[in-house]
Copies of this chain bind each other. A is one copy, B any other.
Amino acid sequence: MAVRVIQVGLGPIGERVLCQVIERQGFEAVAAVDVDPEKVGRDVGELLGLEGGRGLAVQGDLAATLASTAADVVALCTTSSLGSIMSDMETILGARLPVVSTTETLSYPHFAQPELSRRLDELAQIAGVAVVGTGVNPGFAMDTIPIVLTAACRNVDSIEVDRLQDASPRRLPFQQKIGAGLAEDLFRDMVSRGELGHVGLGESIAMVAAAMGWKLDRITDIVEPKIAEEDVSSNDVLVKKGQASGIIQDGTGYCDGEPLIKMHMEAYLGAPETVDTVRVFGSPNLTSTIKGIEGDVATASVAVNAIPKALVAKPGLRTMGDLPIVSWWGGGS
């Protein structure tokens, strides 16, 4: 039997998740919920640009949807902030449904938000279901992959992760999130207000540290502009020479003052390639290179692929490090 999914949140990522749930074997979309009055009432097929209607109208009231829909799981794709999804989480867990969410700060919230994590873990345990935050990053490229690699090691001293992304083919909100086209001053202002940059680097660092058994003293996370050396453009954005074409972001996890985990991200228009590199320093030393992890597709893929594993996971707040290996599944229901 297909896994019956209620999709909550129909922004760019939520739409992609719902698309996969509709199109892939083993999943069935049983409801879609969004707060946007422009979307409520519309057929999801039409909203997603699929051929033909799906006989499924977007609903506006989460609690009412949960009460009236037989479902196995909720896919929650609303915001990046754990605090702002707590109310929806309480509603969903009150209905005793497991949750897979692309909320970045939910991927490993124990370090940065221990109180909320405890509360959520408690709610999920009471509900007897698992809650998992995941996506391509955080959730896969910069945390799951390095964690998996260390299986081959008898000792690990430190870990470095580099993610280079050409932002040109990404959706416009992503290009905006990395400040493409901003003057340098404005870029820095927005960074200082927390309005720019990748959300989740600290969570990836904390997740890797937890898997390694390293107790971190602190995590740093610094966002700098990548300044265009010549004009560069995507379908949506023109970046002039001297403006920011994207971000350079560095995160470091310190254990007893030593920088044991270093994560470096560059995401900008015109980057030469999209490549993920992991270096594990230990015995043996390992270097992994992955090409082709396309962010927007992959975030939805990782979330959808995590659903079957969340259904069999131990109740509570879980992370990618706790689940059985998340992988694609094409065998149908």
Contacts and interface: CB of A to CB of B under 8 A. Distances in A.
A173 interface: no
B24 A154 contact: yes
B212 A330 contact: yes
Interface string A132-164: 000010001100110111111111100000000
Given A151-B301, A151-B302, A151-B305, A156 B328 contact: yes
A282 interface: yes
Given A156-B330, A290-B149, A144 B325 contact: yes
A237 interface: no
Contacts of A213: 26, 329-332
- Size class of A's contact patch? 35 or more
Contacts of A287: 290-292
A191 interface: no
Nearest to A303: B151
A172 interface: no
Interface stretch (A38-46, A117-125, A218-226, A315-323): A315-323
A328 to B, nearest CB: 4
A11 interface: no
A56 interface: no
A116 interface: no
A243 interface: no
A136 B149 CA distance: 11
A183 interface: no
A284 interface: yes
B286 A293 contact: yes
A98 to B, nearest CB: 17
Contact of A302 (B20, B152, B212): B152
A308 to B, nearest CB: 10
Interface string A281-320: 0111111111111100110111011100000000000001
A150 B290 CA distance: 12
Contacts of A148: 144-145, 148, 325-327
Interface in A88-146: 136, 140-141, 144-145
A53 interface: no
Contacts of A152: 136, 140-141, 293, 297-298, 301-302
Nearest to A146: B327
A324 interface: yes
A103 to B, nearest CB: 18
A141 B151 CA distance: 10
Given A284-B297, A291-B286, A328 B136 contact: no
Given A144-B148, A150-B328, A151-B302, 4 more contacts: A152-B297, A154-B301, A288-B291, A323-B324
21 contacts: A26-B213, A140-B151, A141-B152, A144-B151, A147-B325, A148-B325, A150-B305, A150-B327, A152-B297, A152-B301, A152-B302, A153-B305, A153-B328, A211-B325, A212-B328, A284-B298, A286-B293, A288-B288, A288-B290, A289-B290, A325-B325
The 10 closest A-B pairs by CB, nearest first: A213-B331, A150-B328, A152-B298, A286-B292, A151-B326, A154-B301, A284-B294, A288-B290, A147-B327, A150-B327
